[in-house]
Amino acid sequence: MAVARDSTSSTRFAQFKLVLLGESAVGKSSLVLRFVKDQFDDYRESTIGAAFLTQTIALDESTTIKFEIWDTAGQERYKSLAPMYYRNANCAVVVYDITQAASLDKAKSWVKELQRQANENIIIALAGNKLDLDGKRQVETAAAEAYASESGLLFFETSAKSGENVTELFTAIAKRLPLETASSRQRTAPKGVDLSRPNRRAPAASNNGCTC
Amino acid sequence: MQQQFFLERNHPTFQPGSFASVNRPLLPHTASAVSISHFINNGNSNGSANARDMYGFRKQSQYITASEYDKWFASYEKYMHRRRRKWEALIRDSGIEFGEDGVPLAFPRKSKLVKRYVRKGIPVDWRGAAWFWYAKGPEYLKKNPGLYERLWTRGMSSPPVDSELIERDLHRTFPDNIHFRNTDQPPVNSGSPATTPGSTKSSGSNSRRNSAAPETRIVQSLRRVLYAFSLYVPKTGYCQSLNFLAGLLLLFMEEEKAFWMLVIITQKYLPGVHEINLEGANIDQGVLMMCVRESLPIVWNKIGAGIDGYLRDDMVVRLPPITLCTAAWFMSGFIGVLPIETVVRVWDCFFYEDSKVFFRIALTIFKLSERQIESVRDPMETFQIVQTTPKQLLDASSVIQSCFRRHNGFGHISQEEIDNRRRFVADRRRHVGVMTSSDILADELDSQLPSSSLPGHTSGRQKRFAGIASSGFESRKAAEDRIQMLRMGSMNMLSLNARNDYFSPPSSSRSVSGASSPAV
C-alpha cells in the first residue's frame, strides 16, 4: 500500500536491498520471519541457498521504506555464493547467537568481508540474537557493543522468539539509509543495486516517483 | 493381497526410523503405525480433522490450504489406486515375484512402457524399493557389505568434523513431519540432555536449543546416515540440504539403503553439487541457464539477459542471481520447493531417468511461471514468483505432464545433452578460473569506479579494463557492462577471450542498454 502512495508529492518511497549473514542456526530466518510476518517457530527448517522476502515499513508519515531481504544459508560452503547476495546490498544484518561465542567470531569475519568487498556505503548492523536465552549467554553485551562501535556498526541484541528489538533493529537501519541517494539512484542508472532493477522503462514512472 | 489398496495396509515402509540395527528388517513402530492407521481410518471420512498427509507432513502450507489439499487428494487417491493396479499387472507380466511385504523383489527392465509407468507414479509403498533398484543401489550394497554399520559406529564413537553442523540440522529437518518431530509430545524445556551417543560436540550444540522434543527414531537414523556419509565421502562431508535428501529417503527405505542412495545421488546423479566449493551446483546452474535461454527466452530476458551487465557468453561463469534460488532446487532435490507429493513423483522419474529430470522440472517451473514473470515490472518480483510458484504446484500429475509433454520446448534435453553441457560448463569455468583471480580485480574496479559515472567519462581504470576486456574494440558502454558484471557476480570471471560456440551472437543489447543507460 505504501508503494501505491509514492506517486503523490508528499511521500517518499525507497527500496533497499538487505542481506542477512551469519553462522548457521543463529536465527537469521527467524529474525526475518518475525520482522516480516511477526511469527516465530521453535523449529525452523534450515535454509538452503537463499530465501527472498520483502517488507515495507513506514519510517515516518512521509517516508516509506521497502526492504528486499535476502536470507542466506549459514553453512560455510555457501559462503562462495555470498558475494552474489551482498554485492549490491545497501544494508546487511550480521547475526550471531549470544549463547554461542564462536558465532560472534563468525559474525566478525562477515563484517570484515563486507567492509572489504561490499558497497562502500553499506550499512551494517550486528544482531546478537536469542536474547530470550539470556541465562545461557556466552557473549557479553558490552564486549559485542564495543566491537560494534569501533567497527561502525549498528548494534542490537534481539530475540526473534519474543520479538524484542526486532522492529527496532530494522527501523534503525532504515533511519541510517541514505534516503536522498537511494531515491535519486532509483531514477538514474543505479550503481550496484541494479541487478534488482534491470528494466527501468516502465517502473520509472510509476514506482519510483520519489519527489526529493 | 496385492490387489488391496496400499492405504488399507499397514505397510512397514511407512514406519520409518523404526529399527535399531541396520541389518535387521523394518520392525513395526507403534507411534508411526498409529499415525498411518489413523490416516487410513479417518483420512477421508474426517479429512479436515486430519492435518497430516500419508507421509506425516502437514497438509497445509503457507500456499495450500488443508481443504485444497483434501480436494486434490480425493481424486489423486483414486488415481493412485488405478496406477497401482496397472503396476501390479506389469510386475506379474514381467514374471517378478512379490515379497512378503507385498513389494516386488525386483523391478522391470527399463523400456518405454516402464518409463511411462514411472512417470505416472510408482506405488507409494514400493517407492523406496523402486528408487533403490533403478539407482542401482543393490550393486553398492553388495559390494560393501557391513560398511554402513562400520561407518556409523565409528562416527558415533569419534564424531566426524562436521558433526556439529549435522547436529544443528537434525532438528531442523522436517520439523513439520510427525516422524521427525512428534508434536503430540510437548516440547521439553531447556536443559534436556543431548541424546547423541558418544558425541561431546553435539551435546554442546543440542543444549543450546531452548526446547527440544524427545528425539524420534527417524532423527536418530538421520544422524547415523549423515555421520556415516560424512566419513565415507569426506570431500563432500556434510552439506546443508543433504539432511533433507536423507530425511526423505528415510521415509521410504531403511537407513542403510538411504545411506547408499545418498552416496549414489551425490556421486552419480548430482556429481559435485554438494562438494565443499559447490562447484557442481554452479556447473548445473550454468547448464540450467543455458537451457532457459534457449527454451524460454521470455523468462531469460527477465532473469538473465535483462539483468544489467550480464553478457550472454559469460552467463555460465557469472551466474545470474536467480541461481541463488535454483541452486537450492537441485541441492535439495526440490524438497521444500515443490509440495511433497510432487517431489516424490519427480524423484520417481529422477532415479529412473537420471538428472535431466531435475533440469526439465526446473524448466517446467519457469514455464509455468512464464506469464507472471513476463508481466512483472519490478524485477525483484521475479524472485518472488520463482520462489512461490513451485510451492503451489500440488497437482503432481499435471506438473509431470507439463514436464514431459511433447513440444514443450525442452523435450530435446536428453541426459547425454546434460552431460555434454556439464562438461562444457565445467571446462569453461575452469578455464576462466585459472585466468584470473577475479574477485580481487572486481573489487579493485569497484573501488575505482565512481558511483555515478557520468556518460562520456571513462576512468583510467575503466579504460584499462576495457582494454583487457575487449578483443580489439569495445565501447565504453560494453566495458561498463562488464564492470557491472564483475561487481555483481560471485564466481570467477573474465571468460572474455574464449568464444562460446553454444551461444548465438549477442542480440540482447536492447534490454541491457535499456537497463544501464544513465538517465538524465
Which residues in chain A are closer than 8 Å to B319, comparing Cβ atoms? 84
**In a domain? residue B274:** no
Q: What is the rounded CA–CA span in Å between residue B13 and residue B18?
A: 10
Q: Which residues pair with A91 in a beta bridge?
A: A18, A123
- Measured N-to-C along each axis, helices B242-252 and B340-353 cross at an angle, to the nearest 10 degrees, of 90
Q: Which of A14-23, A190-199, B432-441 has the highest mean pLDDT?
A: A14-23
The answer to whether A46 contacts chain B (CB < 8 Å) is: yes
> B172: distance to nearest CA of chain A, Å?
4
**pLDDT score for B377:** 84
**In a domain? residue A191:** no
Strand extents, DSSP E, B339-434: none
DSSP, collapsed to helix, strand or coil, labels residue A60 as strand
Does one domain contain both B152 and B108? no
> A126: distance to nearest CA of chain B, Å?
20
Q: What is the rounded CA–CA span in Å between residue B504 and residue B408?
A: 21
The answer to whether A136 contacts chain B (CB < 8 Å) is: yes
Least reliable range by pLDDT among A38-47, A94-103, A192-201, B137-146 = A192-201
Confidence at B213, pLDDT banded by 50, 70, 90? low
Q: Tell me how crowded residue A1 is: count the other CB atoms within 10 A of its CB.
A: 7
- Domain carrying residue A36: 2-186
Nearest CA in chain B to A70: B324
The answer to whether B488 contacts chain A (CB < 8 Å) is: yes
Least reliable range by pLDDT among B129-143, B315-329, B426-440 = B426-440
Q: What is the rounded CA–CA span in Å between residue B211 and residue A122?
A: 36
The answer to whether A88 contacts chain B (CB < 8 Å) is: yes
The fraction of chain A above a pLDDT of 70, given in percent, is 80
pLDDT tops 60 at residue A4: no
Does one domain contain both B444 and B482? yes
Name residue, grid cell 584499462. B464
Mean pLDDT of B323-352: 97
The answer to whether A73 contacts chain B (CB < 8 Å) is: yes
**pLDDT score for B8:** 37
Q: What is the rounded CA–CA span in Å between residue B86 and residue B89?
A: 5
Does one domain contain both B147 and B244? yes
pLDDT tops 90 at residue B281: yes
Confidence at B218, pLDDT banded by 50, 70, 90? very high
Nearest CA in chain A to B276: A77
- Which residues lie closer than 8 Å to A205 by C-beta, 6 or more apart? none
Least reliable range by pLDDT among B100-109, B276-285, B494-503 = B494-503
Does one domain contain both B115 and B151? no
- Distances in Å between the Cα of B52 and the Cα atoms of A42, B181, B182, B185, B222 are 19, 13, 12, 16, 21
Asked if A192's CB is within 8 angstroms of B487's CB, the reply is yes
Domain boundary among B212, B235, B269: B269
Does one domain contain both B113 and B180? no
Tens digit of each residue's pLDDT (9 = 90 or more) over A120-149: 999 999 999 999 999 999 999 999 999 999
**pLDDT score for A185:** 42
**In a domain? residue A149:** yes
**pLDDT score for B313:** 54
Contact between residue B155 and residue B167 where contact means Cβ atoms under 8 Å apart: no
Mean pLDDT of A97-116: 97
pLDDT tops 50 at residue B104: yes
Name residue, grid cell 562431508. B237
The answer to whether A197 contacts chain B (CB < 8 Å) is: yes
Q: What is the rounded CA–CA span in Å between residue B169 and residue B179?
A: 15
Q: What's the number of domains chain B is made of?
A: 3
ipTM confidence score:
0.82
Mean pLDDT of B441-453: 40
Tens digit of each residue's pLDDT (9 = 90 or more) over A27-42: 999 999 999 999 999 9
Tens digit of each residue's pLDDT (9 = 90 or more) over B342-379: 999 999 999 999 999 999 999 999 999 999 999 998 87
Q: What is the rounded CA–CA span in Å between residue B305 and residue B293?
A: 9
- In this complex, how many residue pairs, one in chain A and one in chain B, have their CB atoms less than 8 Å apart? 170
The answer to whether A86 contacts chain B (CB < 8 Å) is: no
Q: What is the rounded CA–CA span in Å between residue A45 and residue B337?
A: 12
Does one domain contain both B49 and B154? no
Q: What's the number of domains chain A is made of?
A: 1
Does one domain contain both B10 and B113? yes
Asked if B169's CB is within 8 angstroms of A188's CB, the reply is no
The answer to whether B191 contacts chain A (CB < 8 Å) is: no
Mean pLDDT of B122-134: 98
- Nine-digit cell string for A7: 506517486
Does one domain contain both B97 and B149? no
* Nearest CA-CA partner of B489 in B278, B302, B320: B320
Nearest CB partner across the interface for B379, out of A133, A189, A196: A196
Which residues in chain A are closer than 8 Å to B517, comparing Cβ atoms? 189
Asked if B210's CB is within 8 angstroms of A80's CB, the reply is no
The answer to whether B62 contacts chain A (CB < 8 Å) is: no
Asked if A52's CB is within 8 angstroms of B210's CB, the reply is no
Q: Tell me how crowded residue B444 is: count the other CB atoms within 10 A of its CB.
A: 13
Q: What is the CA radius of gyration of chain A?
A: 17
B237: phi then psi, degrees, rounded to nearest 5: 60, -130
**In a domain? residue B392:** no
**In a domain? residue A177:** yes
Does one domain contain both B232 and B154? yes
**pLDDT score for B182:** 80
**pLDDT score for A9:** 55
Three-class DSSP labels, B77-140? HHHHHHHHHHHHHHHHHCCCCECCCCCECCCCCCCHHHHHHHHCCCCCCCHHHHHHHHCCHHHH
Residue of higher predicted confidence among B210 and A7: A7
**pLDDT score for A181:** 52
The answer to whether A165 contacts chain B (CB < 8 Å) is: no
Asked if A52's CB is within 8 angstroms of B380's CB, the reply is yes
Confidence at B469, pLDDT banded by 50, 70, 90? very low
> A192: distance to nearest CA of chain B, Å?
7
Average pLDDT of every residue of chain B: 76
Nearest CA in chain B to A133: B210
**pLDDT score for B319:** 86
Asked if B169's CB is within 8 angstroms of A49's CB, the reply is no
**In a domain? residue B190:** yes
DSSP, collapsed to helix, strand or coil, labels residue A208 as coil
- Which residues lie closer than 8 Å to B294 by C-beta, 6 or more apart? none
pLDDT tops 60 at residue B19: no
Confidence at B217, pLDDT banded by 50, 70, 90? very high
**pLDDT score for B184:** 62
Residue of higher predicted confidence among B440 and B332: B332
The answer to whether B324 contacts chain A (CB < 8 Å) is: yes
**In a domain? residue A65:** yes
Q: Which residues pair with A72 in a beta bridge?
A: A50
Residue A70 sits in a domain of what CATH number? Answer: 3.40.50.300
- Distances in Å between the Cα of A104 and the Cα atoms of A44, A107, B22 are 21, 5, 40
Q: What is the rounded CA–CA span in Å between residue A134 and residue A111?
A: 24
Tens digit of each residue's pLDDT (9 = 90 or more) over B23-77: 333 333 333 333 333 333 333 334 444 799 999 999 999 999 999 999 999 999 9
Q: Tell me how crowded residue B139 is: count the other CB atoms within 10 A of its CB.
A: 11
Mean pLDDT of B403-420: 91
* Nearest CA-CA partner of B446 in A190, A114, A120, A182: A120
Q: Which amino acid would we find at residue B172? A: R
Least reliable range by pLDDT among B142-146, B413-417, B464-468 = B464-468
DSSP, collapsed to helix, strand or coil, labels residue A71 as strand
Nearest CB partner across the interface for B328, out of A48, A80, A191: A48
Q: What is the rounded CA–CA span in Å between residue B5 and residue B13?
A: 15
Nearest CA in chain B to A78: B278
pLDDT tops 60 at residue A75: yes
The fraction of chain A above a pLDDT of 90, given in percent, is 66
Tens digit of each residue's pLDDT (9 = 90 or more) over A149-161: 999 999 999 999 9
Does one domain contain both B227 and B149? yes
Least reliable range by pLDDT among A169-183, B217-231, B295-309 = B295-309
- Domain carrying residue B51: 6-119
**In a domain? residue A88:** yes
Confidence at A118, pLDDT banded by 50, 70, 90? very high
**In a domain? residue A192:** no
- Measured N-to-C along each axis, helices B340-353 and B356-375 cross at an angle, to the nearest 10 degrees, of 140
Sign, Cα dihedral of B182, B184, B188, B192: negative
